[in-house]
Homo-oligomer: A and B are copies of this chain.
């Protein structure tokens, strides 16, 4: 109750005020947080001296040295010798994160026919890549398949694995329980808990579009308020707002594929008409441009882009997003469609919002979901994102 003006964002984020129900915080949690702070800085800023880490985090050098010694013992960081360059004072010894000391297993379930997986370093570099045909499996069979697939990936890892991340279609709650994934015949399935028990490792599961958003946010350098639109067999979206993933009231945030965008439009698989998927999914776009010459195809793609722009305008305005990333076949998306969507978005939002907005292709290409699944593990186990 001092007269100093406190900063709402910090207190909200750091201490959890602003939520109806929050967990208690013990001193050891504070330590875990500060440890994550160091890793976060080392991850994004590269090798840093202990003194600079202290300045960056506002912790004292004593505390930083103590934490670093623990991280050194765990093998998560290493000393890299003195910092090059000439300056006054004792030369600093750089400390860097050993992104190759541990590995992460990531699985991408977004494709209906194929399970894709990889072993990645902590820096997100793919070390081993595997895939497996689903062969129409679903339900518990698919969980078994997934378990075997993950075991294969684990044995292919060349370093200790800190966890397994899975990007799955459908509605997934924050604890990795798949609430509903019709195409997989999964409903109320505690996938993360199941896999964690079978594999003996921490397992994180999230929606594939959310995962893609996380991947772009952490490895792709995307802004803290952004939306990733995944265009494949269907259309989905993952949203990061003010640096935090959006879950939504029923954990179904980002389900943009079945918003009506065209009055009296094409019939949709969901039983209604004019859903965004009927215009923007990869199959729909391919149908739209089939047999057309280049100019006609561009016109068709531009039309789809305008529909997309109109649908996104309220979302972009409401959330004041800095970026919208498109994730899908570039030959369809990264041309007339993207240009038309950008123009429409600018036209239909107020300048203050539209001017600061970028609409671009996802930087990580086809590996977004895998990279994001790795980020799930990094965030949960190391506090890095």
Interface residues of A (CB under 8 A from B): 1-20, 22-27, 29-30, 32-34, 36-37, 40, 44, 57-59, 162, 171, 174-176, 180, 192-193, 196, 200-204, 206, 223-225, 227, 237, 239, 241-261, 270, 272, 275, 310-315, 317-322, 347-350, 352-353, 356, 376, 379-381, 383-385
Measured between C-beta atoms, what is the minimum distance from A328 to chain B in Å? 18
Inter-chain contacts of A376 with B (CB < 8 A): 8
Cα distance A248–B356 in the bound complex, in angstroms: 11
Inter-chain contacts of A318 with B (CB < 8 A): 227, 237, 239, 246, 253-256, 315, 319
Inter-chain contacts of A356 with B (CB < 8 A): 249-250
Task: Say whether, besides A255-B350, A270-B350, A314 and B317 are in contact (CB < 8 Å).
Answer: no
Inter-chain contacts of A12 with B (CB < 8 A): 244-245, 379
Cα distance A15–B36 in the bound complex, in angstroms: 9
Cα distance A186–B311 in the bound complex, in angstroms: 32
> Judging by beta carbons under 8 Å apart, are A18 and B58 in contact?
no
Cα distance A20–B223 in the bound complex, in angstroms: 10
> Judging by beta carbons under 8 Å apart, are A5 and B175 in contact?
yes
Inter-chain contacts of A348 with B (CB < 8 A): 259-260
Cα distance A1–B103 in the bound complex, in angstroms: 12
> Judging by beta carbons under 8 Å apart, are B36 and A23 in contact?
no
Inter-chain contacts of A10 with B (CB < 8 A): 22-23
Measured between C-beta atoms, what is the minimum distance from A235 to chain B in Å? 11
Residue of B nearest to A6 (CB): B380
Of B22, B27, B174, B239, which contacts A14 at CB under 8 A? B22
Please give me the 7 A-B residue pairs with the lowest Cβ-Cβ distance, nearest first.
A248-B320, A249-B322, A260-B348, A258-B350, A17-B383, A9-B174, A225-B249
Task: Say whether, besides A253-B319, A313-B260, A33 and B25 are in contact (CB < 8 Å).
Answer: yes
Inter-chain contacts of A33 with B (CB < 8 A): 15-17, 22, 24-25
Measured between C-beta atoms, what is the minimum distance from A351 to chain B in Å? 8
> Judging by beta carbons under 8 Å apart, are B58 and A24 in contact?
yes
Cα distance A376–B5 in the bound complex, in angstroms: 12
Residue of B nearest to A258 (CB): B350
Measured between C-beta atoms, what is the minimum distance from A304 to chain B in Å? 16
Inter-chain contacts of A256 with B (CB < 8 A): 314, 317-318
Cα distance A153–B275 in the bound complex, in angstroms: 53
Measured between C-beta atoms, what is the minimum distance from A63 to chain B in Å? 9
Task: Say whether, besides A20-B44, A30-B25, A348-B259, A383 and B314 are in contact (CB < 8 Å).
Answer: no
> Judging by beta carbons under 8 Å apart, are B224 and A249 in contact?
yes
> Judging by beta carbons under 8 Å apart, are B223 and A57 in contact?
no
Measured between C-beta atoms, what is the minimum distance from A188 to chain B in Å? 14
Measured between C-beta atoms, what is the minimum distance from A260 to chain B in Å? 4
Task: Say whether, besides A14-B25, A16-B13, A33-B16, A248 and B225 are in contact (CB < 8 Å).
Answer: yes
> Judging by beta carbons under 8 Å apart, are A250 and B19 in contact?
no
